[in-house]
Amino acid sequence: MRVADCDYVVVGSGAGGGPLAANLAKAGFKVVLLEAGGDPCADSEVGRLMYEVPIFHGLSTEYSECQWDYFVRHYADDRRQRLDQKLVTEDPISGEPVNGIWYPRAGALGGCTAHNAMITVTPQDCDWNHIAEITGDPTWRADAMHGYFARLENCHYVPRPGSLKYTLKGLLWSIVALLKGRKDWRDWAHGHGFDGWLVTSEANPTLVAKDAEVVRLLLDAIKVAYKAGLERPLVSLLTRLDPNDLRNSIDMREGLAFTPLAVARGKRNGPRDFLLRTGETSPDNLTIQLHALATRILFEGRRAVGVEFYEGKHLYEADPQARKPGAERDFTTRQVFAAREVIVAAGAFNSPQLLKLSGIGPRKELQEFGIEVLVDAPGVGENLQDRYEVGVVSEFPKPFVLLEGATFAPPKEGEPDDPYYVSWQKGQGVYTTNGVLLGILKRSDQRKPEPDLYIFGLPGFFTGYKPGYSELFERRRNRFTWAVLKAYTNNTAGRVTLQSNDPKKWPRIEFNYFDEGNDRRSEDLEAVVDGVQFVREMNRTLGAAKELCPGPEYDTAERLREFIRNEAWGHHASCTNKIGGDDDPYAVLDSRFRVRGTEALRVVDASVFPKIPGYFIVSAIYMISEKAADVVIEDAR
């Protein structure tokens, strides 16, 4: 007779699976969490710094102990694909042909939250209301979802209600709001939470004060924003340029933003830390199994009862150490059984891969690889979505004083102390930030219901992801990038398909950009054009700056379209196991995260969204993870 090892098996420790596993364990359930990677932060001093130091986030994406590489297709047409300067034709590790764009992911405790840029911006209300509308489930409405962010957040940049500092600011807001007849004049927290597991903070704006060039650059950007009608001084003062202030989401405002970060006293924090704290306080309830590559879900009939996994280091093909010529990948096949449910949280690429390897997916595709069909689910792996991003890079005559003396790397024995690293050890300075100095929320078209562009500025050279980019980013200290991010993209034509029935092999990932996709009116392309033109308007006031990218040769709207089609990128892959209504044959999940056609199986990660949410996806995933915990616990009782 089979004996259950736990109540729940959770596959994946990222933004969806990590908090969910911790919350279930805190609620008294026994949870086994499977993570394919290790915990580099605990394995070495370099690994610890790669995780903890916010400014090292770029380097951490190329740190081999947690790095996972995917090479994705932006276009099916090889000719179109070759026009992208970021194209990688040959894997730099194995030498094998890949012909794709490098898409960095993380194989580590905490998933991609172990190497992301820590930006923590909540979705707009429309993201949640859409799910409520298509499923008929009112618990997805925005007014119900707001509480999940407040529950998970421990906000350090808005004073806690009841403190003197908060009371003075709140009093000012209340007086103005009352005079304007606002119904929310008594609500001072405005959606923030102060007791959750995720600390949020803002970079200290005075960090740039010593650099006159950077100050001038930012002031010019602010002037252009005001000139364009994006800002109203009183509103900006009262919301503290905070994109997570609930008033901004409700009113769908454009304007300036200081970008909130998941940084606690100068150090990255996230699901990894939540899991480790939970493991200390509830050691009998949470078992974290590292180096555990899930290979298939185990079923009795159509009921999920466990997970088979390979135990071993560096097994998955995306891991660069697995692709080294002659690499030995020793592993042991093991199984873990759950008394209640299996919850898949392996991300937008790996969750559909695992479902398909387990017999859940399009019948024809499964049969092609000799996989027995358990559930013919045509939506698994379909509907892949992402942002479009481009970088507008300017060069200045002199290096920024702000960066003088910084190495942007962990200290090496025998080398002089980096003064910025010394400051970071005290919880101060540039290294406590991710480098982003200012954000701007903007509508590309005033007829759009919500701002669809998030434009953010940072010192450095950033035009997308290509092997070696992190060193190039910081090598030249006289360059400044405005990154244009297109949110609410219309293209839903991407897909994730199997290339093999071997669970160690990566899937084929095709985004089908722009005209290869299904954005028939080219709204995405025109929006990015608008964003680049807006940045150029800001940069025109900086007579000393020279545009390096796109470059002066892209001097018309049509030339800009050409550049964007060739060079855009994204890194918020999502929507490949979408939630949907009973009438949608491509809906993989119901509104309670349950995989249709099965029992005791759910998915909780970036793949569940029917439409890509908000601006930076991690906050939305945290929120659905909190909701999933409530749903799972409710169903258990």
Q: Which of the residues are catalytic?
A: 572
Contact, 516 vs 75, CB < 8 A? yes
| Integer Cα distance of 491 and 384 in angstroms | 9
Measured between alpha carbons, how far is 508 from 510 in angstroms, rounded to an integer?
A: 7
What are the C-alpha distances in Å from 485 to residues 179, 256, 568, 614? Answer: 36, 15, 10, 11
Residue 108, classed as helix, strand or coil, is strand
**Cβ atoms within 10 Å, residue 557:** 13
Residue 376 backbone phi and psi in degrees, to 5: -80, 100
- Decide: 286 and 483 in contact? Cβ < 8 Å: no
Secondary structure of residue 419 in the 3-state scheme? helix
User: How far, in Å, CA of 545 to CA of 398, rounded?
Assistant: 10
CA atoms of 267 and 357, how far apart (whole Å): 38
- 153 touches 198 (CB < 8 A): yes
| CA–CA separation, 299 and 307 (whole Å) | 9
In the numeric block, which tokens belong to residue 162? 């009841």
Q: What is the 3-state secondary structure (H, E, C) of 200-233?
A: EECCCHHHHCCCHHHHHHHHHHHHHHHHCCCCCH
Angle at which helix 17-26 crosses helix 617-636, to 10 degrees, equals 30
615 with 600: CB under 8 angstroms? no
Scan for tokens 């985004």, then name that residue. 511
SS3 168: helix
The C-alpha R_g of the chain, in whole angstroms, comes to 24
The set of residues, in sequence order, having a beta carbon less than 8 Å from that of 340 and lying 6+ positions away, is 7, 8, 29, 600, 636
Question: Residue 328 is which amino acid?
Answer: E
Nearest to 108 by CA among 337, 275, 355, 279: 275
